[in-house]
Amino acid sequence: MITRRHLAATAGLVLASRGARAQGGFPSRPIRAIVGYPPGGGVDIVARLIGEPMRSALGQPLVVENRPGASAMIAAQAVAKAPGDGYTLLFAAAGEIAANPALYKERMSYDAERELAPVTLCGTVPCLVVVPADLPVRNPAELIAYARANKGTLSFSSSGIGNPQHLAGELMNRMAGTDVLHVPYRGSVPAVTDVASGRVTMSFSSLGAALPLIQEGKLRPVAVTSRERMPQLPEVAPLREAPGLENYELVNWFGIFAPGTTPAPVLERLATAAEAALAEPSLSAKLTDQGIIPRRLSTTAFRAFVREEAGKFAAIIRDAGITAEG
């Protein structure tokens, strides 16, 4: 007689067998790595740098496919709707995962939490707060004191509405009680160029965009938005060292995602390969050179991290009344 216990045990063995086969036989062909940004950007750089060591671990190449547009939602949707077989991955930044759901709401064509499965975190990207070289501000405490003393007259630039650079400035305003006006640009380079020329008071920028002007003596870095100092600029203190900002932190980050229906064994296989690649000193050094701080998280820890970041970004967007363009 076949009992319920026997059926349950048999079903469990079948599922375990399928999982083992999926993990053991995967991958058997190249994997598409979709990026929602043009070649040469931060996410694209991460995908290409990590591709070779992941190929060694997986035995199959990662073929980078750039699909820019719509705040990276075209790429994210393509992966969200792809088969959950592990052969289509999304290399993403914080924006399309954690900020877009709060910015675009009904315009969203994918459910980031339900339709995209976190694989692993690749690294974080602190914003660098820069001011003109002749501004009497040299550290986080002086920056906040200057902003409080000049309410209603200061501005900060970022590379666009609703991205982590913009949200970093709004979080400063909320926590410090300042009212520095946001001025959005199409990209970090023009945003920092106008700071150097005096059109904007400060910028929350990427290291890559600001560094040339810092080296030319036209910009002064006064703070970073991470909890720790950046390896490239160890003399620049975190913004949280200013009075009242002890809990301040907001960074961009890059991670790998798969379709939400991807089996757990496949996710673990991908995560193991990515984490092994990120542990290589040569890759870590290359990422650091790009202003990216390598950081690895397990699939479970990364899922919790993404959920926490999405809640944090949504609160800033709501409190600051940020709305997306268009």
Structure tokens at 141: 């405490």
Would you say 225 and 129 are in contact if contact means Cβ atoms under 8 Å apart? Answer: yes
Give the rounded distance of the alpha carbon of 273 from its chain centre.
20
pLDDT in tens, 281-294: 999 999 998 889 99
Q: Give the single-character DSSP code of 98.
A: I
Q: CA geometry: angle at 150 spanning 146 and 154, to 5°?
A: 95
Burial bucket for residue 164 (CB in 10 Å: 0-12, 13-18, 19+) = buried
pTM, full prediction: 0.88
Phi and psi torsions of 106, nearest 5°: -65, -15
Tens-binned pLDDT, residue by residue, of the chain (326 aa):
445 445 444 444 444 334 444 446 899 999 999 999 999 989 999 999 999 999 999 999 999 999 999 999 999 999 999 999 999 999 999 999 999 999 998 888 899 999 999 999 999 999 999 999 999 999 999 999 999 999 999 999 999 999 999 999 999 999 999 999 999 998 899 999 999 999 999 999 999 899 999 999 999 999 999 999 999 999 999 999 999 999 999 999 999 999 999 999 999 999 999 999 999 999 999 999 888 999 989 899 999 999 999 999 999 999 999 988 54
pLDDT in tens, 2-24: 454 454 444 444 443 344 444 46
Give the C-alpha separation, 43 to 122, whole Å.
10
Nearest to 294 by CA among 53, 80, 15: 53
Please report the beta strands in the chain, taking only residues with DSSP state E, as ranges in sequence order: 31-35, 62-66, 88-93, 116-126, 128-132, 155-158, 181-184, 202-205, 219-224, 251-259, 293-294
